[in-house]
Every structure is written in structure tokens, then in C-alpha cells.
Amino acid sequence: MPSGDTIVALSTPTGESAIAVIRLSGPACPDLGMAVLQRKHPLEFRRATFGQYFALDGELLDEVVVTSFRENKSFTGEAMLELSCHGNPLISNKIIEDLVRRGCRIAEPGEFSRTAFLNGRIDLSQAEAISDLIQARSDLALRFAQKQLSGSVGKIVAAFTDRLLRIVAQLEAYIDFPEEDLPAEDQSGPVADLRALIRDLEDNIQNSRYKPFLDEGIRTVIIGPPNAGKSSLINALTGEDRAIVSEEPGTTRDYIKERIALEEFGIQILDTAGLHEPDSKIEELGIRKTMELVEQADFFLVVLDAAAPLPAFPADLVNHLLPENSLVLANKSDLDGAHPLTDFLPQVPHVQLSLKTKEGYPEFMQTWLAHLRKHQFSPPSDVVVWNARHAQALAMARDRLGDAFGRLKTGKESILVVSDLRDALTAFGEVIGKVDNESMLDILFKEFCIGK
Ligand SMILES: Nc1nc2c(ncn2[C@@H]2O[C@H](COP(=O)(O)OP(=O)(O)OP(=O)(O)O)[C@@H](O)[C@H]2O)c(=O)[nH]1
Ligand SMILES: [Mg+2]
């Protein structure tokens, strides 16, 4: 076996399926491809080769299709094999055991992507995008992960780096000889460019606020008085009897969390305990929990019983309910004496519906969707949605550039401008992984599952 590890892992989920894919990366791949199929000639690169997989002891394990990838022309940058067998864990396990007997090592979590990164096939933001792509649970999350995988983050960071290097070049004379004050006209160009760069960084950092919407979904809390139909709403939205619905007020005491898709949006929906004066300790705890959820919510669906007197909501709750983040649902419109309740939270849009007869339900869904689109719960299509790690690095760059800007403007401690600018460049490098930081890579790739 050639020197250097050849790693192997199942790249599809364990379980019954039509096919399972086993992935290998490392120098032994070309030889292994020939050996397991008992071929005399190397497999053609990037061509699917059908054959029978024979174990080292000669046992026929399965009929397989093997694709061989040449070094430098593969995902990891090493020679690779992709082996499709029938999707029975008994078969894939036997094949992997055989490959280990032949000298392969089981891959660590994320090791394929890490190797691709270390071999310069992808930058760090693209490695993260693979993870995002696999875990995406809404159309929007998919769209933005795909964009990141295509290298959009790297391109923007390269453009920022380029702008900063230009500024450095323009400031060079000043930086090299700080005691010689630059004439105002020489300074205005680079200083103005620096200000513009800081502003653009700030705009980009702001876009990271969309990331939790893409990853976890828009945190939407259903609130309202007891018995208004909150649990009926989560059941209607999820299409299942997820929450207990009963005519007894105070039924829901602990909150229930579900994920749904509303067209392109991913929504995290939470059913909560009814808000009222608590009669018992458990109810009190439930209501306190609701208030905690309210603090962290992105959106509110306020469910009211249209045939009941208007509830009194605590002031600290009402303060959270804004026209851009809330909808009032006047439920039970089928009952005699139902009112539109437009006087309740008049600043917030209202819909009337019956969760019992479903009258008004499609209109509510349309209103909700239009509301999310209007109030920027989806990122504009031309931006990059930075993750928390990127945003932290960009904020570091912005702060250092801010320091440099201040020093240039005031002429104080101008000797430190060089190190400010260097720190900013390092921070840009961190976004795409152009830094020697093994521990950061360990943490990042550990989040990946085996076979990625
Ligand atoms: N007539 C009528 N009854 C409804 C409607 N929606 C819900 N209900 C009934 O109202 C009662 C309370 O519904 P739930 O969904 O449990 O209300 P909730 O707001 O979760 O109540 P708590 O968990 O106790 O706070 C149940 O008996 C439901 O069947 C509706 O549109 N019309
Ligand atoms: Mg309930």
C-alpha cells in the first residue's frame, strides 16, 4: 500500500435504501479499485465501473458501481473512490471492514471536507457551506448555502482584502515615516477609502442576523389567553395532533416546539401556556416560561377567542408586539357573538378565522407569508449571509480599521496604524481559513458527521 493514510467511510445514512455510497480518499485508491473488482487494469477516471466486489478472502460481497477520481481532480484533492453498493448496512459494513483489512483507516468526522480544505480545494467558508447545505431545512437556507458553496464568501473577502491592501499601499509613505505628516490631500484618498470599507463591513455584519432564520427557522411564538385555540393552531400548522386540545382552560402548561416550512421560509413554531392570572404554581411556571420565550421570539401569532371578552396582556408583553413582527388571529369566528376584535392591538394586522371550520385559514396563511416577505425575514438575494464565526471575524476587522481610522484622523499613536491594518487582514483571512489555527479547525470539523 502506498504511504499516507487512505480513509474510508459510509457517506449515506445507515439503514435500508436502494444504494449506499462508501467513500475513500488517499493514495491507495487506484490500487484498491482494481483489487476489489479483481481487475488487471486501473479503473478509468470519472467513469462508473460496474463489477463484483470480492473481499480479501475471495468472498463475493455485492455487485457494485465504482467511480475513481484522480489526485488533484477530486473533492479532497487526493485520489478517491466512490463505491455504490446495495443499501443494506450488513453489506456496507462488510465492505468497510474488508477495506480496513486492506489497510484503510475509518475517517474521522468531517475528515473528507477537512482534507479538501487542507489541500486548497475549498476554503473554510465552503466547508461550512457543505454542512449548511446538508442540514438546510428551507428553500431559503438551501439557496444561501449553495451560494456560499460556490465561493461567494471567499469572493467578498478577497474584494475586502484587495481594498485594504490598496489603502495600505496608499498609506505606505505615511506608515513608513509617520513623523512626516502626510499633506491633507494625500491622506484624504486612503482615509476616505478606509471609512467606506468600514461602512461596507458594517452592512455585511448586519446580514448575519438572517443566519438563525436560515438555520433554526424564524422563532414564532403562539400566544394568547387560555382556551383561545393556540394548540389548535399548532396542530393545524403541523398537520398533526401535536398538542392536546381541550375545552378546559390551562391545558397547555409546558411549551411545544415544532418546525414547519411556509413556502421558502423555515419556521420554528412554539405553542405556549395561556396568559392569564395563574391559579396554580405549575400554571405560574408555564406563564413565566412563555414570557422567556417572548423575549427570544422573532415573530408572534396572537390567538384570541373572538367570542370572549378581550384579554388583559401584561405591558411587558404588549411592548414586544409590533406591526412588523405580529399578527392577531381572531379565532372562533364560527361562534355566535364573535367580534373582529380590531380594537385589540390596533397597530398589528388582524385576521379572522375559525380553526374549527377552517374558514379564513388559507387567507391567514397568505397574510402571514406576505407579512414575512414584506418585513425582511428573508435576506435580499444579492447578499451573503455570514455565519456567527464570519461575523465575529468581520467585526474584529471593522474594530481594528476603526482604530486605524481614528489614529489617522487625529495623528495620535499613528505608529500603531500598521498593526491595526495587519490585524484586520488576519481577521479577513480567518473567514476563509487562511490562518494556522489547528484548534479552530478541530472544533469546526468535529461538528461534521463521518463521511462528509
Ligand atoms: N367553536 C370553535 N372552537 C374552537 C376553535 N378553535 C379551537 N376551538 C376549541 O377551543 C378549545 C380550546 O382550544 P385549544 O386549542 O386547546 O386552546 P389553547 O389556547 O391551546 O388553550 P390552553 O392550552 O388551555 O391555553 C377546544 O375545545 C377547541 O376545540 C374554533 O375556531 N371554533
Ligand atoms: Mg393549549
What CATH number has the domain bearing residue 361?
3.40.50.300
* Site of grid cell 380590531: 342
Q: Is 198's pLDDT higher than 70?
A: yes
pLDDT at residue number 256: 85
Q: List residues, by chain if needed, whose CB lies under 5 Å from ion ligand 2.
A: 230-231, 251-252
Q: What is the side-by-side strand order in the sheet with 60-69?
A: 48-54, 60-69, 80-87, 17-25, 7-10, 105-106
Q: Which ligand does the CA of 232 lie closest to?
A: 1
| Number of domains the chain contains | 3
In a domain, 451, yes or no: no
Q: Is 282's pLDDT higher than 90?
A: no
Q: Which ligand does the CA of 235 lie closest to?
A: 1
C-alpha cell at 206: 448586519
In a domain, 323, yes or no: yes
246 in ligand 1 pocket by Cβ < 6 Å? yes
- Which residues neighbour 363 within 8 Å (Cβ) at sequence distance 6 or greater? 351, 353
**Average confidence (pLDDT) over 358-367:** 96
Residue-number span of the structural domain to which 191 is assigned: 126-209+385-446
Residue at a domain's end among 121, 146, 161: 121
- Closest among 121, 105, 118 to 26, alpha carbons compared: 105
* Residue 197: its H or E element: helix 184-206
**Average confidence (pLDDT) over 227-252:** 85
Nearest CA to ligand 1 atom 7: 229
The band of 363, judged by pLDDT with boundaries at 50, 70 and 90, is very high
Query: What gap in Å lies between CA 404 and CA 416, rounded to an integer?
Result: 8
In a domain, 18, yes or no: yes
User: Are 145 and 228 within one domain?
Assistant: no
In a domain, 452, yes or no: no
Express each pLDDT in 374-390 by its tens digit.
Answer: 988 989 888 999 999 99
The band of 249, judged by pLDDT with boundaries at 50, 70 and 90, is confident
In a domain, 379, yes or no: no
Task: Please give the distance, rounded to the nearest whole angstrom, from the Cα atom of residue 251 to the centre of ligand 1.
Answer: 10
In a domain, 418, yes or no: yes
In a domain, 2, yes or no: no
Express each pLDDT in 146-189 by its tens digit.
Answer: 999 999 999 999 999 989 988 887 776 666 555 555 555 455 68
334 three-state secondary structure: coil
User: Are 333 and 407 within one domain?
Assistant: no
pLDDT at residue number 185: 46
Best mutation site among 232, 237, 277 for ligand 1, i.e. most ligand atoms within 8 A of its Cβ?
232
Q: What percent of the chain has pLDDT over 70?
A: 89
250 in ligand 1 pocket by Cβ < 6 Å? yes
pLDDT at residue number 44: 96
Ligand 1 atom at minimum distance from 232 CA:
15
Residue at a domain's end among 348, 374, 400: 374
**Average confidence (pLDDT) over 362-379:** 93
User: Are 224 and 336 within one domain?
Assistant: yes
Task: Please give the distance, rounded to the nearest whole angstrom, from the Cα atom of residue 244 to the centre of ligand 2.
Answer: 6
The band of 3, judged by pLDDT with boundaries at 50, 70 and 90, is low
First to last CA, the chain: 24
Dihedral sign for Cα 400, 405, 408, 412, please.
negative
Query: What gap in Å lies between CA 354 and CA 337, rounded to an integer?
Result: 13
- Give the mean pLDDT of the chain: 89
User: Are 332 and 277 within one domain?
Assistant: yes
User: Are 90 and 148 within one domain?
Assistant: no
Task: Please give the distance, rounded to the nearest whole angstrom, from the Cα atom of residue 238 to the centre of ligand 1.
Answer: 16
User: Are 12 and 97 within one domain?
Assistant: yes
- Which residues neighbour 15 within 8 Å (Cβ) at sequence distance 6 or greater? 87, 89
434: number of Cβ within 10 Å? 16
Q: Is 246's pLDDT higher than 90?
A: no
User: Are 231 and 281 within one domain?
Assistant: yes
User: Are 182 and 149 within one domain?
Assistant: yes
User: Are 346 and 421 within one domain?
Assistant: no
In a domain, 82, yes or no: yes
Ligand 1 atom at minimum distance from 248 CA:
24
User: Are 228 and 362 within one domain?
Assistant: yes
Residue at a domain's end among 121, 148, 182: 121
Q: Is 420's pLDDT higher than 70?
A: yes
